Chain A
Amino acid sequence: MTKSADRTPKIDVRVTQIVDVTSEIKRFRFEPTDGKPLPVFAGGAHVVVEMEDGDTLRRNPYSLMSSPGATDAYNISVRRDPGGRGGSMFMHDRVTVGSLLRLSHPVNLFPIDRRARKHLLFAGGIGITPTLAMMSELARYGDAFELNYAVRSENDGAYLDQLRNTYGKRVSIYRDDQGEQIPLTTLLAAQPLGTHLYVCGPGGMMNWVLSTAEGLGWPAQNLHSERFLAPPSGSPYEVRLAASDLSIKVGPHQSMLEAIEAAGVDAPYLCRGGACGQCETRVVSFDGDLLHNDHYLTDDEHAGGQKVMPCVSRFEGRELVLDR
């Protein structure tokens, strides 16, 4: 285990296997270089993978899809996203068997609720990754669950055969190119009291599932979701870091957090996706517009202009001064 510039403990791993799961998705197997057992985790957890891409230090969160009890290796699956900021492209095109990477300890912002009488899982596309780990755990403890998994087509669907073979009737697969659609309202109305719902997939699908459930009277506490929110790109801008007495430039495809880190300033973070609140930063002053892209601050806090989440939010205007 080593300490990185951000002072949180990291796990050094070697890539020992890469599998083409579909034309767009690759699975990577990580094993610890020191041979010690990897930390156990709970289904729904992710790790932040550190990749040195030339001058750029990338830190991308990926859900752990392997069985939570397995301590010899971790598995993640990555969808190649040419329109993204390059992290998935780096994983697909530059990482090979034998590559060395560093991982954070597992972090879980999408845990199973152990009070539930039944767990109703929804996954879309690459959102199947945390769901696989959750099902492995639920099956291990004998909990009742069902999965509804939406994919573009049989060929584009990851792990379809594995799911059918392992979980049988507990899995329903909906292939878009066959016109198959999740009968959401019927499904939700048929669940016993005490069922908890979990959804992970494209934003539109998640909004649909959550808003339908809310509309049918499901309590908010029974609804769990994890959004894979990558930092959006935008025009470059400058930021003054008052506490560090530095001015930094934020590139078009670089998040404010990444720019702060690149300047050698230690900024707290956890999920790097606008959800957890750990990177919350005080805005000393600004002359322009704060572009809030997070799911953490309240509407009032967004309007108040005193806080910003640098992992995903941006700025447009003449001057932004942060307390960092």
Chain B
Amino acid sequence: MTIEFNTETFRGDFTYHNSPEAIARFPFPFHEDKYMYSVNIEPHISFRPGSVYEHPFDVDEHYVSEVADRALVLNEDPLRSQSLPHMNLAGWDLLELLMTNFSQSYPQWFELHQDGDRWHWINRPLGIDDTFTFLDNTTLPYGPMEYIMRQTQGDYALLDQRDDNLWMDAGVITTQADWSLDFDIGMNFMEWHGPVPLAHELGVFDRALKFLLNLRQGQPVRRLNWTMTVHPRLDTSPENYAKWGVDRATVTPENAGEYMYLRVELQSLWRLPRSNAIVFPIRCYLISLQDLVTIPKWGRRLHRVLRDLPDELADYKGLTMTRPSVLQYLSQFDDGAQTSAGTFPD
């Protein structure tokens, strides 16, 4: 696939934009006209060429600019990248996973040459050409996790498996929907999910944890999560709440189409071979409402989902203040007609 990489910003002047192709392949998360939590995990297998599900790790037109935004975040706040000492091996597992998959999926952009432990990595979009020794930290400019994450879209958490639980012991988190790695690091699965309303009572996390403890090499899984953001800002972190929280008060029915973005996380879960850890990529996709409603089914469905969303969920997802304006805007695109099942456009 030949695409141009966008030159765009996710802060300040917000020049972020989606091409028509990016709009068409957007991972719209709702398969029906309402939303409730579920353990909506499915095998992470290749599906629908051209879609975000075609490759194990999707690289799109936003790659170069997202990576640049991540570098800005990390330079401002180094605590967004942390790795407890016992997670170094997991970091090497992750580096291998991403390098092998990027080079297999996108040989026009990425090359990996392995001569025993001597590896040669070429990343053309970023102009990187590095040789290093696998498992030797002294041969890379950063630890292995941070090294490869500085060339990757999406947040990645590395989870150590022990004591019948998963522990968030490493990660690079710069494109998050309002959670903090520095606060969560060292917590276990139940602890870091503590704030999520309703899901605990539904037993969602008990089942999810049991399933993940038995996650196998060679059988990754995926699911979608979603929220909304004002402006196409990737770094909606608690650390920077003072910068973006106030944006919620600026949304009106007139500007909602332009200002409000549906934010979808394509999450996957992989068992790592040497460390036996689990890596949890959280790949963030943004689409403005005015772009989204160009797909009529999505305009109708999103209106209905948001209209009927329980208040606790809306509050937890930070939608309370903007919901009235969003609903008023979207109602223009909901004529009450039936919508087809599934997430893809008609």
Query: Does the CB pair B275–A42 fall under 8 Å?
Result: yes
Query: Does the CB pair B214–A105 fall under 8 Å?
Result: no
* Assembly CA distance A270 to B160 (angstroms): 20
Q: Which of A25-33, A108-116, A257-265, A314-322 contacts B (4 or more CB under 8 A)?
A: A108-116
Query: Does the CB pair A39–B273 fall under 8 Å?
Result: yes
Query: Does the CB pair A111–B161 fall under 8 Å?
Result: yes
A107 in the interface (beta carbon within 8 A): yes
* Assembly CA distance A141 to B137 (angstroms): 12
A127 in the interface (beta carbon within 8 A): no
Query: Does the CB pair A42–B216 fall under 8 Å?
Result: no
Cβ contacts B82-114/A at 8 Å (1 or 0 each) = 000011010000000000000000000000000
* Assembly CA distance A114 to B51 (angstroms): 38
B276 in the interface (beta carbon within 8 A): yes
- Contacts A111-B161, A114-B89, A277-B210 given: A105-B275 contact, CB under 8 Å? no
Task: Tell me how far the C-beta of B220 lies from the nearest C-beta in chain A, rounded to whole angstroms.
Answer: 11
* Assembly CA distance A137 to B274 (angstroms): 9
- Contacts A68-B274, A111-B161, A113-B162 given: A9-B219 contact, CB under 8 Å? yes
11 A-B pairs with CB atoms under 8 Å apart are A8-B219, A9-B218, A40-B273, A40-B274, A105-B218, A106-B217, A106-B273, A107-B217, A114-B87, A114-B160, A277-B214
* Assembly CA distance A45 to B217 (angstroms): 11
B21 in the interface (beta carbon within 8 A): no
- Contacts A108-B276, A221-B162 given: A39-B214 contact, CB under 8 Å? no
Query: Does the CB pair A114–B275 fall under 8 Å?
Result: yes
Query: Does the CB pair B216–A41 fall under 8 Å?
Result: no
Not counting A9-B218, A39-B273, A141-B89, a sample of 14 additional A-B residue pairs whose C-beta atoms are within 8 angstroms of each other reads A40-B273, A40-B274, A41-B273, A41-B274, A42-B273, A45-B276, A68-B274, A105-B218, A111-B161, A111-B162, A114-B87, A115-B86, A270-B214, A277-B210
Minimal Cβ-Cβ distance residue in A for B160: A114
Task: Tell me how far the C-beta of A236 lies from the nearest C-beta in chain B, rounded to whole angstroms.
Answer: 30
Q: Which residues of B contact A (CB under 8 A)?
A: 86-87, 89, 160-163, 210, 213-214, 216-219, 273-276
* Assembly CA distance A276 to B162 (angstroms): 13
Query: Does the CB pair B217–A111 fall under 8 Å?
Result: no
A233 in the interface (beta carbon within 8 A): no
A43-72, CB < 8 A from B: 45, 68
* Assembly CA distance A276 to B215 (angstroms): 11
Minimal Cβ-Cβ distance residue in A for B274: A42
A195 in the interface (beta carbon within 8 A): no
Complex contacts, B214 vs chain A, CB 8 Å: 270, 276-278
Task: Tell me how far the C-beta of B129 lies from the nearest C-beta in chain A, rounded to whole angstroms.
Answer: 25
Minimal Cβ-Cβ distance residue in A for B163: A221
Complex contacts, A105 vs chain B, CB 8 Å: 216-219
Minimal Cβ-Cβ distance residue in B for A40: B273
Query: Does the CB pair B218–A39 fall under 8 Å?
Result: yes
Complex contacts, B163 vs chain A, CB 8 Å: 221
Number of A residues near B (Cβ < 8 Å) is 23
Task: Tell me how far the C-beta of B213 lies from the nearest C-beta in chain A, rounded to whole angstroms.
Answer: 8
Complex contacts, A276 vs chain B, CB 8 Å: 214
Complex contacts, A277 vs chain B, CB 8 Å: 210, 213-214
Task: Tell me how far the C-beta of B270 lies from the nearest C-beta in chain A, rounded to whole angstroms.
Answer: 12
Minimal Cβ-Cβ distance residue in B for A104: B216
Complex contacts, A270 vs chain B, CB 8 Å: 214, 216
* Assembly CA distance A113 to B275 (angstroms): 9
The 3 A-B pairs at the shortest CB distance, nearest first, are namely A114-B86, A105-B218, A111-B276
* Assembly CA distance A105 to B275 (angstroms): 15
Within 8 Å by CB of A41, from B160, B210, B217, lies B217
Cβ contacts A1-28/B at 8 Å (1 or 0 each) = 0000000110000000000000000000
Minimal Cβ-Cβ distance residue in A for B89: A114
Complex contacts, B210 vs chain A, CB 8 Å: 277
Cβ contacts A283-303/B at 8 Å (1 or 0 each) = 000000000000000000000
Minimal Cβ-Cβ distance residue in B for A42: B276
Task: Tell me how far the C-beta of B210 lies from the nearest C-beta in chain A, rounded to whole angstroms.
Answer: 7
Minimal Cβ-Cβ distance residue in A for B84: A115
* Assembly CA distance A40 to B160 (angstroms): 18
Task: Tell me how far the C-beta of A143 lies from the nearest C-beta in chain B, rounded to whole angstroms.
Answer: 11
* Assembly CA distance A141 to B86 (angstroms): 12
Most central of B89, B160, B163, B276 by chain A CB within 10 Å: B276
Complex contacts, A42 vs chain B, CB 8 Å: 273-276
Within 8 Å by CB of A39, from B161, B217, B276, lies B217
Task: Tell me how far the C-beta of B304 lies from the nearest C-beta in chain A, rounded to whole angstroms.
Answer: 34
Cβ contacts A79-123/B at 8 Å (1 or 0 each) = 000000000000000000000000001111001011100000000
Complex contacts, A278 vs chain B, CB 8 Å: 214
* Assembly CA distance A65 to B329 (angstroms): 63
* Assembly CA distance A40 to B163 (angstroms): 23
* Assembly CA distance A136 to B210 (angstroms): 30
Complex contacts, B216 vs chain A, CB 8 Å: 8, 105, 107, 270
Task: Tell me how far the C-beta of A69 lies from the nearest C-beta in chain B, rounded to whole angstroms.
Answer: 8
Minimal Cβ-Cβ distance residue in B for A224: B162
* Assembly CA distance A115 to B214 (angstroms): 21
Task: Tell me how far the C-beta of A102 lies from the nearest C-beta in chain B, rounded to whole angstroms.
Answer: 13
* Assembly CA distance A108 to B277 (angstroms): 10
Task: Tell me how far the C-beta of A253 lies from the nearest C-beta in chain B, rounded to whole angstroms.
Answer: 27
* Assembly CA distance A68 to B89 (angstroms): 13
Complex contacts, A39 vs chain B, CB 8 Å: 217-218, 273
A146-165, CB < 8 A from B: none
Minimal Cβ-Cβ distance residue in B for A278: B214
Task: Tell me how far the C-beta of A305 lies from the nearest C-beta in chain B, rounded to whole angstroms.
Answer: 20
Complex contacts, B213 vs chain A, CB 8 Å: 277
Task: Tell me how far the C-beta of A30 lies from the nearest C-beta in chain B, rounded to whole angstroms.
Answer: 16
Complex contacts, A40 vs chain B, CB 8 Å: 273-274
Task: Tell me how far the C-beta of B42 lies from the nearest C-beta in chain A, rounded to whole angstroms.
Answer: 13
Complex contacts, A113 vs chain B, CB 8 Å: 86, 162
Most central of A42, A141, A276 by chain B CB within 10 Å: A42
